[in-house]
Amino acid sequence: MNTPEKNWLEWAVFAVGLVLVGAALGYLVYDAATFGNAPPDIEVRLDAPAQQRQHFTVPVTVINHGDLPAEGVRVEVVLEASGAEEPERAELEIPLLPRGASREGAVAFRRDPRTAQLTARLLGYEKP
Amino acid sequence: MNIQASHSPNVAAPAVAESLQEYGRGVAGGLLFSLPLLYTMEVWQTGLNAHPVRLLVAVAGTFLLLLGYNRYAGLRRDAGMTEVVIDSVEEMGIGLMLSTLILWMTGRITFDMPATAIVGPVVIEAMIVAIGVSVGTEQLGGGSAAAAGMASDAQPGKKEEAGRQGTAHERLGGANHGRAEGESSPEVTFGGQLVITLCGAVLFAANVAPTDEVSIIATQISSWRLLGLAFFSLSLTTVILFYTDFTGARQFVRTRALPAVAVGVVIAYVVALIASALILWFFGRFDGEALMTCVAQTIVLGVAGSLGASAGRLLLQ
């Protein structure tokens, strides 16, 4: 086998290319070997509410702990005030939630969530 | 520019400046062919959703395509296998670098993301960029400039010959001109033709495949229109390959006898359909679809594929 004539720059680019391609392949092989088939496992977290001009917002973080991605993830947050009124509901949709990913958003309420009880739950999602 | 370097008889390796020029062309070509897809949402999403095995298949497939293209297309037709492999690895590396850079600059990836969210999109985009780099390195350099009589400073890709002999320039100019006109160039084997046809088809079809439009057209189209699209693809291929005197067409079209025309067109269309189906499968367009929808999508994308397999191929070789 004859070694092609190359200058240092070409060898350097080749070396970097080899390392990058090797790293990408290595990671993909590792990923494929450890890849599970667990369905999307979606966690909804609520953060401290904040008062804005016309409403109150509650930051929402949605995390997918599963091995498969989810599309059109819908989350509902219900606010139940101590008065015996109807609970106030708010919804949030995340278009795409890949595996291991987290997305942040917020839901808005007219009543003050700081003096009420908040519950968050997943409504549903679609498999891509 | 680098005439001296490439002219001097005992230069073994090309000058660094020449290599830089070549990489510059590669980068330009890579971006030219792949920027539309670097800016396409469906491609990032495929990268996020794709199973790692599918990504591995994509890398392997792209590497084979690069090997084939570097082996058979344009200026490197006479390069040894070691060099072809080295070039292909380089092109993939440049592809990975460019796609990481662009995706990072456009905010599609950030380095606090989990590794899966970075690797998927970067790898997919890099495959497309790598093909562009390969084509750009070959096509944006010498070829047409040489034919226009500017061979002197337009041949950095032709390292070996240029180093080997002083008269390299005249000879190369002649050879390239011949290549374009189909007179004195060496015959490309049937296998080589197939590889270049496949490259052309993939290059064009890959630009159309990832968007939702293909599946929207395919699910709403009537069977008659679908048949019409297939007929349109075949006619387009026939006209481009045999009747328009397209650049480079004469090199492989020796005759306009009907059987030869029919065989050539059918082969090009079959290659286009295979390329289209592979790309659609890769972008997950066949997942959970009925067979008829898969066929329809393949034929819809086959229009782009056959355009690449005919016009694209003639431009690439």
Residues of A in contact with B53 (CB under 8 A): 32, 35
Are the beta carbons of A28 and B163 separated by less than 8 Å? Answer: no
* Per-position b or e across B157-196, b if 16+ CB within 10 A of its CB: bbbbbbbeeeebbeebbebbbebbeeeebeebeeebbbbb
Tokens of B313: 């191929």
B260 and chain A: CB distance < 8 Å anywhere? no
- CB contact at 8 A, B147 and B251: no
Query: What SS3 state is found at A46?
Result: strand
- Closest CA of chain A from B180, distance in Å: 27
Are the beta carbons of A14 and B89 separated by less than 8 Å? Answer: yes
Q: What is the ipTM of this complex?
A: 0.74
| Residue B88 CA from chain centroid, whole number | 13
User: Domain A42-126 sits in which CATH superfamily?
Assistant: Lipoprotein YajI-like (2.60.40.1620)
- Closest CA of chain A from B66, distance in Å: 14
317 residues of chain B, pLDDT tens digit each: 334 444 434 446 778 888 888 899 999 989 988 999 999 999 998 898 888 999 999 999 999 999 988 888 755 556 688 888 999 999 999 999 999 999 999 999 998 888 888 999 999 999 999 998 988 888 777 544 333 333 333 344 443 333 333 333 333 333 343 333 333 345 567 888 888 889 889 988 998 999 889 999 999 999 999 999 999 999 999 998 888 777 666 666 666 678 888 888 999 999 999 999 999 999 989 988 889 999 999 999 999 999 999 987 777 76
Residues of B in contact with A99 (CB under 8 A): 116
Distance CA B138, CA B33 (A): 13
Number of H helices, E strands in chain B: 16, 0
pLDDT tens per residue, range B262-309: 888 999 999 999 999 999 999 989 988 889 999 999 999 999 999 999
Task: Please state whether the predicted TM-score (pTM) of the whole model is above 0.90.
Answer: no
Give the count of Cβ contacts less than 8 A between chain A and B.
111
Nearest in space to B99 (alpha carbons), one of B55, B157, B140, B53? B55
pLDDT tens per residue, range B135-150: 888 877 754 433 333 3
- CB contact at 8 A, B124 and B58: yes
Residues of A in contact with B159 (CB under 8 A): 5
Contacts of B183 (CB under 8 A, 6+ apart): none
Contacts of A83 (CB under 8 A, 6+ apart): none
Give the nearest chain A residue to B22 (CA atoms): A10
